[in-house]
Structure 1
Amino acid sequence: MRALLQRVTQASVSVDDTVIAQTGPGLLIFVCAMQNDTLAEAATLASKVAKLRIFRDNADKMNRSLVDTGGAALIVSQFTLAADTTRGNRPGFSAAADPATGQTLYQAFADQVRAKGIPVATGRFGADMAVALVNDGPITLWLDTAR
């Protein structure tokens, strides 16, 4: 699975001009299930996200995790993280999991993050969403369970 994490002070997701999910300080997580991903990858990625020390401690060092800070996560499905841009000018997305598998793994990832005691809000799988955020830092990280 792939994820793009952005440390945020706030973030929201809207569908049809209506906010459907929002969060305060924590992470905005764009997530994509790849072909051959399993529930094990969802669990591995969730564990990494929960423990990743990217929040400031009292000495202003990135030394605290989402769990440590009591922050929240806004999780948004984004199959375009599977983009292959090696040929031509039009990205290919054949490396992404099929929609049914993608939705199952997206939900499993969100459930696993929630099980770590982190408040979770989610976008709507497959919807055309507008995402707003205030990036904190900015801190943006790419995670991939295949690496």
Structure 2
Amino acid sequence: MRIVIQRVSQACVTINKQVKSSIGAGYLVLLGIGKDDTEEDVNWLVKKVIALRVFDDEMGVMNRSIMDVDGEILVVSQFTLMGSHKKGNRPSWIHAAPHEISIPLYNRFCAALSDALSKPVGTGEFGADMKVELLNDGPVTICMDTKNKE
């Protein structure tokens, strides 16, 4: 699994000109799921996202987690994160999981984050043509890949 976390002041996802989800301060998480990803990858990423300290403390140092600031999270599926660009100029999606793997893992990731936060997370719609708007705060952008856990 690969994620891009963006610390935001606000974010929303729109589908067919209708706002599906919107959040205030917190994280916009773009989630890519690979064909060999598992529940173990979900659990590892949830722990990392919840514990990540990228919010300012009273001294202006990034030392607080999403839990510490009572932040919100919006998760958007993003299969293009799994693209390979090694050959030519057109990305290959051969590493992206098929729907029968990715949809349950996406739903599990969102549910696990919601449980950890003790509140619902915003979501997009898997496979939909989504318009994502955000106001990046910082900017702070962090990438994580469960295949690089060290």
Shared fold (TM-score, shorter chain, > 0.5):
yes
TM-score scaled by structure 1? 0.98
Counterpart of 2:143 in structure 1 is 142
Amino acid at match of 2:99: P
Counterpart of 2:130 in structure 1 is 129
1-structure distance, mates of 2:118, 2:35: 27
CA contact (8 A) 1:72 1:118 kept: no
- Cα distance, 1:72 vs structure 2: 0.5
SS at match of 1:92: coil
CA contact (8 A) 1:75 1:110 kept: yes
Counterpart of 1:21 in structure 2 is 21
2-structure distance, mates of 1:140, 1:96: 22
TM-score scaled by structure 2? 0.96
2-structure distance, mates of 1:67, 1:75: 16
* In the alignment, structure 1 residue 98 sits paired with structure 2 residue 108: no
CA contact (8 A) 1:71 1:118 kept: no
Amino acid at match of 1:10: Q
Matched ranges for 1:39-118 at <5 A: 39-117=39-117
Residue-by-residue CA offset, 1:76-118 (whole Å, 9 max, x unaligned): 0000000101110100011111112111111111111111125
* In the alignment, structure 1 residue 34 sits paired with structure 2 residue 67: no
SS at match of 2:110: helix
2-structure distance, mates of 1:50, 1:35: 24
TM superposition outliers: structure 1 runs of 4+ over 2 Å = none
- Cα distance, 1:48 vs structure 2: 0.5
Residue-by-residue CA offset, 1:124-146 (whole Å, 9 max, x unaligned): 00100000000000001100011
SS at match of 1:116: helix
SS at match of 1:69: coil
2-structure distance, mates of 1:108, 1:44: 12
| Residue ranges of structure 1 left out of the alignment (5+ in a row) | none
Amino acid at match of 1:136: D
Residue-by-residue CA offset, 1:24-65 (whole Å, 9 max, x unaligned): 000000001112111111111011000000111000000000
